[in-house]
Amino acid sequence: MTEQQVGAAVEAARAVLDRIDSLAAAPVVEVEDVLEGTAALSRIVDALQVRLAGLIDERSKGPADQQICRAMGRRSAKEAVAQSFGIHTRDAHQLLSLAAMTSQGMSLTGGEIAVKYPRVAAALDDGALSLPQARVIVGTLEPAAPRADLERLAWAEGLLVDAATDADFPLVPERLADQARLYVAAIDPDGVLPADERQRTERSFRIWRAAHGGWSCRGDFTAEDGSLLKSVLDATSGPRVKVAFRTDGHDGCSDGCGEDCE
């Protein structure tokens, strides 16, 4: 990609914008054509934003003197993306996250890691899927991904991409989110409920005398046991009853006591 190509694309889009007033009295079919073309252009720009964000993130790793974000005068890839696109840092974070989820990765040993959401990645790069649609699909499926069967996860992803890119009735993000939640309920019916069996098998507790003379401890507890222990420790280290020592001979309270007897 060259600077001339980007410049030409910007000028072409600007030329359409400069003539937008001419559509005020144009036939409906002409307005629809411009609307459809603009929507296609918007999706391509969405994909370009995601890929550029991913590129900046990748090139911002390693030694500080080699990070592209530093060369751009920014402290991080997120800040560079936010400043460049004029968006909130949380939106920049979402762009970086989506880029990671829809790109091939590299393991610590140098092996390739497959794209986590290949159907979303392909539809995004084809200019068929908008950024909000892609965010909804990945954002709704991802919390269930660690517990879901890979084939069922791919099944849900495929159906959602098909629904979002349907030629006649593509689902808008709100409707897509509703559909995605139904699929999540199917592939991960238990949701984020505690893994009781795992909690029981991984229980442990160790306490030892520390070098400073005090005691240190570490352990893993079930949700129920942990809550009980926390209550005991809270009551011990931070009692809610205020302790006071009185020297005025006031031994207790009576119904008519007007003093502070906390």
> Same domain for 147 and 216?
no
Please enumerate in sequence order all residues whose Cβ is within 8 A of that of 165, keeping only pairs 6 or more positions apart, or say none: 123, 128, 129
> Same domain for 93 and 143?
no
Please enumerate in sequence order all residues whose Cβ is within 8 A of that of 21, keeping only pairs 6 or more positions apart, or say none: none
Residue 212 covered by a domain: yes
Give the number of domains in the chain.
Answer: 3
Report how far residue 231's alpha carbon sits from residue 226's, in angstroms, rounded to the nearest whole number: 9
> Same domain for 92 and 138?
no
Please enumerate in sequence order all residues whose Cβ is within 8 A of that of 193, keeping only pairs 6 or more positions apart, or say none: none
> Same domain for 90 and 67?
yes
pLDDT (0 to 100) of residue 242: 60
**The domain containing residue 13 runs over which residues?**
1-101
Residues in the chain predicted with pLDDT less than 70, given as ranges, are: 1, 108, 192-198, 238-262
pLDDT (0 to 100) of residue 126: 94
pLDDT (0 to 100) of residue 249: 53
**Does the pTM of the predicted model rise above 0.75?**
no
> Same domain for 110 and 90?
no
